[in-house]
């Protein structure tokens, strides 16, 4: 909401539209009874927030976390509405969750819980209503269980209700690497305008799914990865790191620290290293007023969700360091999820080359559109991305009857 307020300060919108957007269209809270392996019955709390569907069915992941609650799911659902509009895909925004620590459950308890969520939500989800996907602690296997449960309840056979399924069960080629791949296309679309060289020195915070693929993709395209980190620590070599050797080292030792040919640094130091591009790809709230003045990167490229706080954003903007915001930079994931939905509806299976080409076209076009909007509005790329998303949602709301 702070980010929304910052955006509407550079381009005004009607009060009617803004008040519509300040709350979700529908909030669903369910009790999910699960028979545990020891014969007891436990009741879990599950959620779905259907934020806005002016542009298409609600779309967004389902999060399993002990700290997940309705307020968090609402905020994430709002964010998804903007992200889908930024990518210009025919989807609205939603999000779901269950308050649970999945590591405390056996695999069969997890399956019963997941099937329970799908049963409880049967009436409100569906290919033309609401299309969930994986998020924190939910996997392709969980989506396959939920999809199967939904099909049993409704007879719906396209498989288009859940995305992020395994490839053999209706999933799309290219989904696993889509967030990093899409990010790379957006990066290349903006690189010259951001004043960056053909070969950049790149620092990546977090080499999990998104950051790991980012390291491979940026390195393959003749950029130099100079530092990476995981939850245990970070490594740095200004001459460049051998990315595949890092993964072998991590596989053997459980972390990146101690890698031959690089110096160990702390996670805090990693963020402040001199480089062309800093890619946060781990957690939220990593660039804050405490370190924003020490950032030496020429550009921050947010593959993680919410890595820069609004206060740090202002500091970086003031220092002339562009931030390519999460809602643009990591929109490749939801874009390929939407391709999966489309393939399921049409009964098609696209090749990986087709998926990557379509992703490139979308990311390239949206990155260019948002950059030029930031130039017209003389503002940062995040505010411009919000403005573009809000304009698209407003146009769809007007088309279905919003006046003024
Ligand atoms: P992941 O769990 O696979 O990877 C996270 C990585 O960050 C791990 O390597 C972990 O060791 C590292 N890490 C954790 N704490 C750290 C710390 N303090 N310092 C440095 N590294 C640390 O998760 P992911 O799926 O790669 O997601 C990463 C980010 O990208 C999240 O913000 C997520 O919301 C966002 N995102 C993911 C997708 C997707 O398709 N997976 C899509 C959009 C956005």
Compute the Cα dihedral for 249, 223, 354, 342 and give only its sign: positive
Q: What CA–CA distance (Å, rounded) separates 79 from 176?
A: 21
pLDDT digits (tens, 9 = 90+) for 98-121: 999 999 999 999 999 999 999 999
User: Taking residues 320-343, what's their average pLDDT?
Assistant: 97
* pLDDT score at 116: 98
* pLDDT score at 60: 97
* pLDDT score at 85: 98
Burial zone of 41 (CB within 10 Å; 0-12 exposed, 13-18 middle, 19+ buried): exposed
Sequence-separated (6 or more) residues with CB below 8 Å from residue 322: 194, 299, 300, 316, 380, 381
* pLDDT score at 1: 80
What separation in Å is there between the alpha carbon of 283 and the centre of ligand 1?
6
How many residues are given for the chain?
404
pLDDT digits (tens, 9 = 90+) for 149-172: 999 999 999 999 999 999 999 999
What separation in Å is there between the alpha carbon of 41 and the centre of ligand 1?
34
Check if the beta carbon of residue 57 is closer than 8 Å to that of residue 131.
Answer: yes
Q: Is the pLDDT of residue 6 over 90?
A: no
Would the CB of 210 count as within 6 Å of ligand 1? Answer: yes
Strands 299-301 and 277-280: parallel
Would the CB of 179 count as within 6 Å of ligand 1? Answer: yes
pLDDT digits (tens, 9 = 90+) for 382-398: 999 999 999 999 999 99
What separation in Å is there between the alpha carbon of 208 and the centre of ligand 1?
5
Q: What CA–CA distance (Å, rounded) separates 371 from 382?
A: 10
Would the CB of 254 count as within 6 Å of ligand 1? Answer: no
**Distances, alpha carbon 382 to alpha carbons 200, 237, 320, 369, in Å:** 22, 31, 14, 13
**Helix ranges (DSSP H) in 254-351:** 267-271, 310-318, 326-329, 332-346
Would the CB of 229 count as within 6 Å of ligand 1? Answer: yes
Tokens of 62: 């389902």
pLDDT band at 403 (very low <50, low <70, confident <90, very high): confident
DSSP state of 167: G
Tokens of 357: 């080409």
Number of neighbouring beta carbons within 10 Å of residue 259: 21
Tokens of 254: 């459980």
**Distances, alpha carbon 18 to alpha carbons 24, 93, 311, in Å:** 12, 16, 23
* pLDDT score at 261: 86
Tokens of 39: 């014969």
Check if the beta carbon of residue 355 is closer than 8 Å to that of residue 171.
Answer: no
Instruction: Work out the end-to-end distance of the chain between its first and last CA atoms, rounded to an integer number of angstroms.
Output: 22
pLDDT digits (tens, 9 = 90+) for 9-21: 999 999 999 999 9
CA-based nearest residue to 211, from 243, 258, 163 = 243
59 assigned to active site = no
* pLDDT score at 4: 87
Would the CB of 209 count as within 6 Å of ligand 1? Answer: yes
* pLDDT score at 404: 65
Residues 263, 266, 269, 270, Cα dihedral to 10°: 70
Q: What is the share, in percent, of the chain residues with pLDDT greater than 70?
A: 100
User: Taking residues 258-270, what's their average pLDDT?
Assistant: 96
Q: Is the pLDDT of residue 188 over 80?
A: yes
pLDDT digits (tens, 9 = 90+) for 21-68: 999 999 999 999 999 999 999 999 999 999 999 999 999 999 999 999
Q: What is the share, in percent, of the chain residues with pLDDT greater than 90?
A: 97
What separation in Å is there between the alpha carbon of 136 and the centre of ligand 1?
9
User: Taking residues 343-366, what's their average pLDDT?
Assistant: 98
Check if the beta carbon of residue 138 is closer than 8 Å to that of residue 64.
Answer: yes
């Amino acid at each position: 909401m702070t980010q929304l307020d910052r955006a509407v300060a550079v381009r005004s919108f009607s009060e009617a539209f803004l008040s519509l957007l300040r709350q979700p269209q529908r909030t669903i809270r369910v009790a999910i009874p699960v028979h545990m392996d020891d014969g007891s019955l436990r009741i879990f709390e599950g959620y779905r927030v259907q934020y806005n569907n002016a542009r298409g069915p609600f779309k967004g992941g389902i999060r399993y976390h002990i700290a997940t609650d309705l307020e968090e799911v609402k905020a994430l659902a709002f964010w998804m509405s903007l992200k889908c509009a930024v990518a210009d895909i025919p989807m609205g925004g939603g999000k779901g969750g269950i308050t649970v620590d999945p590591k405390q459950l056996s695999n069969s308890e997890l399956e019963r819980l997941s099937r329970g969520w799908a049963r409880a939500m049967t009436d409100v989800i569906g290919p033309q209503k609401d299309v969930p996907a994986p998020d924190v602690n939910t996997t392709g296997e969980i989506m396959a269980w939920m999809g199967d449960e939904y099909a049993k309840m409704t007879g719906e056979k396209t498989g288009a209700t859940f995305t992020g399924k395994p490839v053999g069960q209706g999933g799309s080629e290219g989904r696993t690497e889509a967030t990093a791949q899409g990010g790379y296309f957006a990066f290349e679309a903006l690189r010259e305008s951001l004043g960056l060289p053909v070969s950049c020195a790149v620092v990546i915070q977090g080499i999990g799914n998104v950051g790991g693929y980012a390291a491979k993709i940026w390195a393959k395209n003749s950029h130099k990865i100079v530092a990476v980190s995981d939850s245990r620590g970070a490594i740095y070599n200004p001459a460049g790191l051998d990315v595949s050797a890092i993964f072998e080292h991590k596989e053997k030792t459980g972390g990146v620290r101690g890698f031959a040919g690089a110096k160990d640094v702390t996670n805090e130091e990693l963020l402040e290293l001199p480089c062309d591009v800093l890619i946060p790809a781990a957690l939220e709230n990593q660039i804050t007023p405490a370190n924003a003045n020490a950032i030496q990167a020429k550009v921050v490229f947010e593959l993680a969700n919410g890595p820069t706080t609004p206060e740090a954003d202002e500091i970086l903007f003031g220092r002339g360091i562009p931030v390519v915001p999460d809602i643009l930079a990591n929109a490749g994931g939801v874009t390929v999820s939407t391709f999966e939905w489309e393939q399921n509806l049409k009964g098609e299976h696209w090749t990986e080359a087709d998926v990557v080409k379509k992703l490139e076209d979308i990311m390239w076009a949206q990155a260019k559109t948002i950059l030029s909007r930031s130039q017209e509005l003389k503002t940062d790329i995040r505010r411009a991305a919000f403005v573009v998303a809000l304009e698209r949602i407003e146009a769809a709301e007007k088309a279905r009857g919003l006046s003024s």
